[in-house]
Amino acid sequence: MIGILYVFHGSQKAEKNQAAMDFIQQLEGKFDSNYEQATAFLENHPETISRVAEKMIKQGVTKIVIVPVLLFAAKHALEDIPAELEQVKSKHPEIEFVQTETFGSKKGSRQVLLERFQEVAVNHPQEQLIGILVAHGTKKTDQPQQTLIEIANEIQQQVGFSIIPTSLKGKEDYLADIKKQRSKEQKLVIVPFFLFDGHLITIMKNKLSETFPTTEFIITRTLEFDSRILNDLEQIVQEAVTCIQ
């Protein structure tokens, strides 16, 4: 039997974890009912990867597709998830595991991000705008930043104003990046490239207020579990299931 295990980072806000599970319920209905599907969290929730995987194995699952519901392949996807899986693999060497790619570079996310900038442009037709695309970021690998740059360039071509890619936890200082773009003539539009409005977004907003107390930013919504992301995840999972069958 095939199992599909969706893995979220996990939020300090219980309602966000519930929203994550509700989001995945929409995806579960797209697959064969014979698949065992479940959700786990890296942090801030009792349903850990090892705990949920053990449950699936007890249900008769022999092949497990691990789906990181994460934007980019950084520390969580490259280190944390594999480390937790090792605990299960050591107990169950007979079980086959496949971990999929992440979804942040896919079409759905790009469409939502583009719309966030477009909505601001429509609502501020007389303003000169500069966009700031802010992701989580990592110092572990350059790939997420390279993808972020690519997405920013793609959006810039469609909206007609500059889009600056930066990140909260990357190698560069996002506050320094934003400081470089401040101008009396132009309004800064910050689009958080996050699945939902969580703890890090709150920290970012507080940092912006402390660092730039006289600057008024336009900060848009996050991806907010947009349904278009489900299409990307469905394709990612389907490809993995095809390989493991």
Tokens of 23: 């989001």
Instruction: Tell me the C-alpha distance between 192 and 37, whole Å.
Output: 29
Asked if residue 235 has pLDDT above 90, the reply is yes
Cα separation values, 34 from 28, 29, 30, 47, 59, Å: 11, 11, 12, 22, 12
* pLDDT class of 172 with cuts at 50, 70, 90: confident
Q: What is the pLDDT of residue 160?
A: 93
Q: What is the pLDDT of residue 11?
A: 85
Sorted by where each starts, the structural domains of the chain and their CATH numbers stand as 2-102+226-244 (3.40.50.1400), 107-219 (3.40.50.1400)
97: β partners: 64
Residue (of 193, 204, 159, 164) closest to 180 by Cα position: 164
Q: What is the pLDDT of residue 243?
A: 86
Instruction: Tell me the C-alpha distance between 155 and 225, whole Å.
Output: 20
State what percent of residues in the chain have pLDDT above 90: 80
* pLDDT class of 53 with cuts at 50, 70, 90: very high
Asked if residue 49 has pLDDT above 80, the reply is yes
Q: How many CB atoms lie within 10 A of CB 116?
A: 22
Asked if residue 75 has pLDDT above 90, the reply is no
Q: What is the pLDDT of residue 142?
A: 86
Asked if residue 184 has pLDDT above 80, the reply is no
pLDDT (average), residues 116-122: 98
* pLDDT class of 93 with cuts at 50, 70, 90: very high
pLDDT (average), residues 126-138: 94
* pLDDT class of 141 with cuts at 50, 70, 90: confident
Asked if residue 241 has pLDDT above 80, the reply is yes
pLDDT (average), residues 69-77: 90
Cβ neighbours of residue 162 under 8 Å, at least 6 residues apart?
A: 130, 131, 156, 181
Of residues 32 and 57, more confidence is placed in 57
The alpha carbon torsion through 219, 135, 41, 16 (nearest 10 deg) reads 10
pLDDT (average), residues 15-22: 92
Q: What is the pLDDT of residue 122?
A: 97
Instruction: Tell me the C-alpha distance between 106 and 236, whole Å.
Output: 10
Instruction: Tell me the C-alpha distance between 112 and 159, whole Å.
Output: 13
Cβ neighbours of residue 119 under 8 Å, at least 6 residues apart?
A: 220
